[in-house]
Amino acid sequence: SNGSANEASKAQRVMVIGGDGYCGWATALHLSNKGYEVAIVDSLVRRLFDHQLGLDSLTPIASIHNRLRCWKAVTGKTIELFIGDICDFEFLSETFNSFEPDAVVHFGEQRSAPYSMIDRSRAVFTQHNNVIGTLNVLFAIKEFREQCHLVKLGTMGEYGTPNIDIEEGYITITHNGRTDTLPYPKQASSFYHLSKVHDSNNIAFTCKAWGIRATDLNQGVVYGVRTDETSLHEDLCNRFDYDGVFGTALNRFCVQAAVGHPLTVYGKGGQTRGYLDIRDTVQCVELAIANPAKPGEFRVFNQFTEQFSVNELAALVTKAGAKLGLNVETITVPNPRVEAEEHYYNAKHTKLIELGLKPHLLSDSLLDSLLNFTVQFKDRVDRKQIMPSVSWRKIGVKPQTVPA
């Protein structure tokens, strides 16, 4: 299989690192459904974090083995599986040489900002796992698959909340009469978000130095759960995090509304971020793969479809809840994070639209169905996991077994 004559007619081979996770699982199935040859690489460390912290997905999720067996039974399609840690370069080399990817989609990181702020060891783990994992992927591409396109999940949080418009990766600046296009300034505000900045720097450098082709997808906060593929069978169901460590804003608010817990707005609630439906995550990744970066090019796309403040999200969920007969209240929680609570925010997001993204915007009907979905599983909710328990200011070296 090393560069045979039928190379051009072969389906593209895509390695999905982190393919057992929330974004990765939906993406792996979507790409498999679209005719790509897919392999999932995952250490299953995310399932271990849940066990260690006593958390669980709102939705019951099948083991990765049963998920893939089910996918094969339902669609006839095979997804290869490599269980291991990409920080282990020997393991990663084996998977590269065995699967020979044309594209690598890299979701395989510790992705929770609160998790990275629990204690020193979680901060160190997050930066080691994420930065070394990505560095290993870059070396594997250079060594074994020079033409392989890296599609890396970054985050909108790399930019922070500057008082000027946010561009897609680069900004043209005139300074003392001279002009240059430079990387957009990065102001991340957790050890997790900072790990993504470090990744972006390493990727940009290796594109320049080695001619790696890469796309950094600076994704906003993802919401939703069902995609065309994960809806096909209950064993294909995606995870849905609602707890104070891994749960993200809109998904959490839906679960809170479903169980009659007040919506947890941190501080003033003016925190504004980019958001997107998980059905758009899979679409964006497919578009990035189908339109690869050129050798040596470090492309940056801002991957979100709409901006909302936390207060706006709370108002939308309150309104949608009322339609379902839920009495939704909101409380102000002292902000466990250090972040701007009232700020300017205007981020560009046109490059994926130009490639053909057709966004699923947050309509009333979508919010209704997401709320209905969470109501269906409300008996599985552990209310003790809802309030935030990790403080940006109190983090220290003392190991925390359960977030204090």
Residue 220 binds to ligand USQ (criterion: CB under 6 A): yes
Stretch that binds ligand NAD, among 31-39, 107-115, 262-270, 358-366 (CB under 6 A): 107-115
| The one-letter amino acid at 72 | K
Three state DSSP letters for 66-130: HHHHHHHHHHCCCCEEEECCCCCHHHHHHHHHHHCCCEEEECCCCCCHHHHCCCHHHHHHHHHHH
Is residue 305 annotated as part of the catalytic site, yes or no? no
Residue 347 binds to ligand USQ (criterion: CB under 6 A): no
Main-chain phi, psi angles of 79, to 5 degrees: -115, 125
d(CA 203, CA 102): 17
Q: Return the one option of ligand USQ, ligand NAD, none that residue 58 interacts with (CB less than 5 to 8 A, by type).
A: none
Residue 42 binds to ligand NAD (criterion: CB under 6 A): yes
- Interface pick for ligand NAD out of 14, 67, 71, 85 (rule CB under 6 A): 85
In the complex with ligand USQ, the residue whose CB is nearer, 79 or 203, is 203
- Interface pick for ligand NAD out of 67, 111, 273, 349 (rule CB under 6 A): 111
CA distances from 40 to 13, 56, 65, 106, 216 (A): 11, 22, 11, 10, 20
Q: Are 78 and 72 in contact (CB under 8 A)?
A: yes
Residue 46 binds to ligand USQ (criterion: CB under 6 A): no
Q: Which 210-269 residues touch ligand NAD, going by CB under 6 A? A: 219, 221-222, 248
Residue 95 binds to ligand NAD (criterion: CB under 6 A): no
Which secondary structure element, helix H or strand E, spans residue 154, and what is its range? strand 149-155
Is residue 155 annotated as part of the catalytic site, yes or no? yes
Q: Are 58 and 381 in contact (CB under 8 A)?
A: yes
CA distances from 18 to 22, 32, 93, 182 (A): 9, 15, 16, 30
CA distances from 106 to 17, 32, 69, 273, 298 (A): 5, 16, 23, 22, 15
Residue 391 binds to ligand USQ (criterion: CB under 6 A): no
- Interface pick for ligand USQ out of 273, 279, 299, 349 (rule CB under 6 A): 273
Q: Which residues, including other chains, have CB under 8 Å from residue 59's CB and lie 6 or more apart?
A: 225, 237, 238, 239, 240, 377, 380
Q: Which 236-255 residues touch ligand USQ, going by CB under 6 A? A: 248-249, 252
Residue 50 binds to ligand USQ (criterion: CB under 6 A): no
- Interface pick for ligand USQ out of 151, 265, 357, 367 (rule CB under 6 A): 265
Residue 58 binds to ligand USQ (criterion: CB under 6 A): no
In the complex with ligand NAD, the residue whose CB is nearer, 65 or 323, is 65
Enumerate the active-site residues.
155, 192, 196
> Which residues here bind ligand USQ, judged by CB under 6 A?
111-113, 155-157, 220-221, 248-249, 252, 264-266, 271, 273-274, 310, 337, 339
- Give the binding site for ligand NAD (CB under 6 A): 18, 20-24, 42-46, 85-87, 107-111, 129, 133, 153, 155, 219, 221-222, 248
